[in-house]
Amino acid sequence: MSLFDVYPLFDVTPVKAKDVFVYDDKGTEYLDLYGGHAVISIGHSHPVYVNALTNQLQNIGFYSNAVQNPIQKKLADQLEQQSGCKDYALFMCSSGAEANENALKLASFHTNKATVIAFDNSFHGRTSACVAATDNPNIVAPLNAQQQVRFLPLGDLELVENTLKAEPICAIIIECVQGVGGLDESTTEFYKGLEILCHKYDTVLIADEVQSGFGRTGDFFAFQKHGLTPHIISMAKGMGNGFPVGGILIHPSIKASYGLLGTTFGGNHLASTATLTVLDVLESENLMQNAKDMSAYFMEKAKAVPQLKQLKGRGLMLGLEFDFPVAALRKKLLFDHFLFTGSSKNPNLIRILPPLTIQTAHIDTFFNALAQEL
Ligand SMILES: Cc1ncc(COP(=O)(O)O)c(C=O)c1O
């Protein structure tokens, strides 16, 4: 049977990985500055993570959400403490799209309204409501296009208010630092303004932290820089360090009832163990501080890059924007210098999303390679 051919593949076959490095079937070592789409947070095959998952699997790997799961409860308590999101409730699922799908559904249940406001260049996933709220018509099927979404430019608060006045809106969904779209971020004034408008018009504010969450920006969540209190926070990617985990945090103003949301796999014993271990290692290795320190080092080094138009993003969620398309440069970095980097919707931008364990020597390796190619 062939694989459904939807991914243009690089001719690299990783068979092993350790911390910030990936090794292919020929033994070549690659420096991973992309973490497989921002997924690797505490480093590939971290020994604490490998031990915790192995031990858990020896006991019980999975049972459904119909029984007590103390690991999921422990995770909720630890997440509350480490994220600083007091009194929110946790609902777990298995991917970023599923997290946003549940967030949007819950917003619609809560407000009894159906239309969503999303922003230009947004990416929220590929399932029903998420893909409709994603600014890329190429991946929206006619089925998804039935959802009602208004796309607005980032930063135009007046247009947001006019839209809220004109029709019932169940949710405003934001990425405080846009990922796939190309690392754009608006001002605190804009984000706080959205929060105020959400309260005024009975609309749910959803912070999509699927890519930016779990310490990647140096804060636990990217919205925290702007002092927001979103109604719903969606998470995935770095949350499981490769184990497929997603979830939403729900503000106490939104009430649960039996059957409102549900999933077979979400929050199972292995998934909860993976996320608990990520939290433990984030804290024990002080990785949020490392994200801040390495970000500052990266930004300093970037100043010397010729032809760099702009450095975007924050923490270890960064974008180098040039005034030319970067596809050929990224290929050279991969095949001549053995460096994984990422692309974005902006063809001139290289995305940098390394494990949060990255050190200055790795950043030097990247800038040396870049200097040779520019
Ligand atoms: C901000 C954001 N939201 C949602 C998603 C979808 O996550 P997943 O691919 O796990 O469904 C992504 C994936 O890139 C993302 O970057």
The amino acid at 52: A
| pTM of the predicted protein model | 0.98
235-270 in b/e form (b: 16+ CB < 10 A) is bbbbbbbbbbbbbbbbbeebeeeeeebebebbbbbb
- Tell how far CA 353 is from the center of its chain: 10
Q: The domain 14-42+288-373 is classified under which CATH number: 3.40.50.300, 3.90.1150.10, 3.40.50.10490, 3.40.50.1820?
A: 3.90.1150.10
The ligand 1 atom nearest the CA atom of 244 = 10
pLDDT at 186: 98
38 Cα–ligand 1 center, Å = 10
Q: What is the pLDDT averaged over residues 357-363? A: 98
Q: For 92-136, how does the pLDDT look when each residue is reduced to its tens digit (9 = 90+)?
A: 999 999 999 999 999 999 999 999 999 999 999 999 999 999 999
pLDDT at 13: 98
- Tell how far CA 129 is from the center of its chain: 17
Judge whether 14-42+288-373 and 48-284 match in fold.
no
96 Cβ closer than 6 Å to some ligand 1 atom = yes
CB 74 within 8 A of CB 81: no
The amino acid at 26: K
pLDDT at 82: 98
304 Cα–ligand 1 center, Å = 32
The ligand 1 atom nearest the CA atom of 237 = 10
Local confidence band at 301 (pLDDT 50, 70, 90 cut-offs) = very high
Local confidence band at 354 (pLDDT 50, 70, 90 cut-offs) = very high
Q: Spell out the residues 6+ positions from residue 50 whose beta carbon is closer than 8 angstroms to its own.
A: none
124 Cα–ligand 1 center, Å = 5
pLDDT at 29: 98
For the stretch 304-313, contacts whose Cβ atoms lie closer than 8 Å and that sit 24 or more positions apart, written own/partner, are 304/367, 304/371, 305/367, 305/370, 305/371, 305/374, 306/374, 307/374, 309/348, 312/182, 312/183, 312/184, 312/185, 312/349, 313/177, 313/183, 313/185, 313/217, 313/352
Of the chain, the percentage scoring pLDDT greater than 70 comes to 100
pLDDT at 363: 98
pLDDT at 31: 98
pLDDT at 374: 93
Q: For 244-280, how does the pLDDT look when each residue is reduced to its tens digit (9 = 90+)?
A: 999 999 999 999 999 999 999 999 999 999 999 999 9
**Alpha-carbon distance 328 to 147, whole Å?**
37
206 Cβ closer than 6 Å to some ligand 1 atom = no
Place of tokens 């503000």: 251
Q: For 162-182, how does the pLDDT look when each residue is reduced to its tens digit (9 = 90+)?
A: 999 999 999 999 999 999 999
From atom 3 of ligand 1, which residue's Cα is the shortest distance away? 124
Local confidence band at 16 (pLDDT 50, 70, 90 cut-offs) = very high
Write the CATH number of the domain with boundaries 48-284.
Answer: 3.40.640.10
- Taking all residues of the chain, what is their mean pLDDT, rounded to a whole number? 98
**Alpha-carbon distance 176 to 188, whole Å?**
10
pLDDT at 285: 98
pLDDT at 264: 98
CA nearest neighbour of 296 among 310, 316, 326, 275: 316
pLDDT at 309: 97
Domain range list for the chain: 14-42+288-373, 48-284
pLDDT at 52: 98
37 Cβ closer than 6 Å to some ligand 1 atom = yes
